[in-house]
Amino acid sequence: MNPHSDNKRLLRRLLLVAAGMFAFGVFGMPPLYDRFCEITGIGQAGIRVEETAPAMPAEDRLVKVRFDATTNSALNWHFQPTVSSMNVQVGMPSEASYLVENLEPSGVYGRAVYNVTPPSAGLYFVKTECFCFTSQGLDAGEQKTMPVRFYIDPDLPDDIQELTLSYTFFLDQDSPGMAGLSPDKKQVN
């Protein structure tokens, strides 16, 4: 055996493996990652947003919705739901509210990220209005009540009788500063 030809063959194999790994990373991973996020609800994938809710409830079935709120350690805000849970009629428009207070000595922007658990319920939890759609600006010491309007799609599997809507507020460093910002301009897309 010629060691030179063995090295060439090894180099070709390694280049072929590297090219295959690159192709998988570029073409194979994005659809797999999207599907994974849709199944688990990570990154708000799979959660539907619609302009309007149905006019009439589709059925008499009630589902318990729990509400959860946390803030990232980089954001000094107090954030909590006004109620810890409510029974919601499937297909019926519903509303819940969250209270938020800026504990910083200056104005700050935050952005909320939400998640629905169990993950399979996320596909049937439909938001029509939410503070999480835009960045929220609060002046020093300012408090605000923020609504979320939603309904649960009647196609929700019968084995899901309870779900949790969870929000985490993060510091939004991409938003402009608060200086000179009028109260009606504190929401940015």
State which residues form the domain around 24: 3-40
How does pLDDT run across 107-126, given as a tens digit for each residue? 999 999 999 999 889 889 99
Report the domain count for the chain: 2
pLDDT of residue 185: 42
* Residues 171, 113 share a domain: yes
pLDDT of residue 133: 82
CA distance 107 to 88: 36
How does pLDDT run across 56-109, given as a tens digit for each residue? 555 689 999 999 999 999 999 999 999 999 999 999 999 999 999 999 999 999
pLDDT classification of 6: cutoffs 50, 70, 90: confident
pLDDT classification of 159: cutoffs 50, 70, 90: very high
* Residues 126, 35 share a domain: no
Q: For the chain, how long is the longest CA-to-CA vector?
A: 80
Lowest mean pLDDT among 28-37, 85-94, 158-167: 28-37
* Residues 96, 12 share a domain: no
Give the CATH number of the domain where residue 180 resides.
2.60.370.10
Average pLDDT, the chain: 82
* Residues 180, 144 share a domain: yes
- Structure pTM? 0.67
* Residues 183, 101 share a domain: yes
* Residues 52, 23 share a domain: no
157 has a pLDDT exceeding 90 = yes
CA dihedral 145, 72, 112, 36 (to 10 degrees): -150
* Residues 118, 56 share a domain: yes
pLDDT of residue 52: 56
Q: Exposed, middle or buried by CB within 10 Å (0-12, 13-18, 19+), for 91?
A: buried
* Residues 100, 28 share a domain: no
* Residues 57, 13 share a domain: no
* Residues 55, 30 share a domain: no
* Residues 148, 166 share a domain: yes
* Residues 53, 36 share a domain: no
pLDDT classification of 182: cutoffs 50, 70, 90: very low
Instruction: Summarize the confidence of residues 44-67 as an average pLDDT.
Output: 68
189 has a pLDDT exceeding 50 = no
Instruction: Summarize the confidence of residues 143-159 as an average pLDDT.
Output: 93
